[in-house]
Structure 1
Amino acid sequence: MKNNSTKSLVTAGLCIALSQILSYLKVLEMPQGGSVTCGSMVPIILFALIYGMGPGLLAAFVYGLLQFVLGGVFSLHPLSIIIDYLLGFGVLGFAGIFSAKKNTISATLGALLASCLRFVMVVLSGAVVWKAYAPEGMNPWIYSITYNASYMIPETILTVILVALLFKRVYKFMK
């Protein structure tokens, strides 16, 4: 049993590190934050799918913390640190809800759920914390949905496709 927990801890560290590295490879970067990356959410989601929701949430939370600390970004309010980073990336661990069935369909659904939850968090942050960036007279919720969808939809599509393609191959090595 101890060997299994050591392996999962090492795997979590590798997935967090790989996600962090991939987050620096940006296809598109938005002016007020957010970007389309080369699959930066994929390693964390794969970890959650293979090891379960509890370990997945912990790994995703640590990844969110690293995104804030190493991202070189500023924050308007402490609430944005919590919503944009800790919860915003932490929700990726919810992909682990689909960890019981080790198949591509469940993995795809897990990736979709995790990406959608991340979208919810960035929209919430945009409407509550970053509402000053909304054009005058525009509803901050509409602005936040529109702004964040512009990068989260492509990021979600890329993430779901990569998880679907990689899950079976990666599962053999990670478990």
Structure 2
Amino acid sequence: MNTRRLAEIGIAIALAAVLSLLRVKLPHLLYGGSISLHMLPILMIAVRHGVRAGVLAGTAYGFVNLLLTPYIVHPIQMALDYPVAFGCLGIAALFGRAPLALWRLAAGVGAACALRLVAHVVSGFVYFSDLAPEGTPAWSYSLAYNSSYLIPETLLTLLVGLPLARRFAMRGGLATQPAPETFP
């Protein structure tokens, strides 16, 4: 990995940290979760430089996010909710990086955010199941809780990110080279 790419990753992590502080805290989420654009810089790194750089940026940002807003009940929960969940954002590049294929970018972002959701749901099921209302299965409680902020956050990221991707693509800056075709 070259110096320029590492510098871009560092800038993206810093920007994600700032964006995480500019968030909408939802009153019904007593145990964490908010809506912000903090995923956008990490996803842009993945789309621009590929899965490896995206996973690296996401994992590193997960640790930064842990420092900014820690909520730890167990080391495995900490790993799932921070470095693993944000590291999943790196797979956004699997669907291709071709500048004109915005639907592929949207699919990649959706898949990456879905994997992030899985990490949070597993963490919630294992470590926060006692918070589920009586009679509510822990899986469905964890899925509903985490979806209540991750789905709107994903939609907001797509709403802002796709026009940005189009703008970068017009300037030739979205991808340094087209990614190999992974899917038809």
Q: Normalization by structure 2: what TM-score?
A: 0.86
**Deviation readout 1:11-37 (Å, 9 max, x if unpaired):** 111111111110111123321111111
Question: 5+ unaligned residues in a row in structure 1: which ranges?
Answer: none
Q: Does 1:36 align with 2:35?
A: yes
Shift of residue 170, structure 1, vs aligned partner:
3.3
Question: 5+ unaligned residues in a row in structure 2: which ranges?
Answer: 177-184
Matches within 5 A, 1:44-83: 44-71=42-69, 73-83=70-80
CA–CA separation in structure 2 for the residues paired with 1:99 and 1:15: 20
Any conservation in 2 of the 1:45–1:111 contact (CA below 8 Å)? yes
Amino acid at match of 2:57: A
- RMSD of aligned residue pairs (Cα, Å): 1.6
Runs of 4+ in 1 over 6 A off after TM superposition: none
CA–CA separation in structure 2 for the residues paired with 1:92 and 1:10: 19
CA–CA separation in structure 2 for the residues paired with 1:135 and 1:54: 40
Q: Normalization by structure 1: what TM-score?
A: 0.90
User: 1:114 aligned to 109, 112, 115, which one?
Assistant: 112
Q: Quick one: percent identity of the two aligned structures? A: 36
Shift of residue 164, structure 1, vs aligned partner:
1.0
Shift of residue 110, structure 1, vs aligned partner:
1.5
Amino acid at match of 2:9: A
CA–CA separation in structure 2 for the residues paired with 1:68 and 1:110: 25
CA–CA separation in structure 1 for the residues paired with 2:118 and 2:112: 10
The answer for the alignment partner of 1:161 in structure 2 is 159
Shift of residue 91, structure 1, vs aligned partner:
0.3
Aligned residues: 170
Normalized per residue, which structure has more helix? Answer: 1
The answer for the alignment partner of 1:26 in structure 2 is 23
Q: Does 1:140 align with 2:138?
A: yes
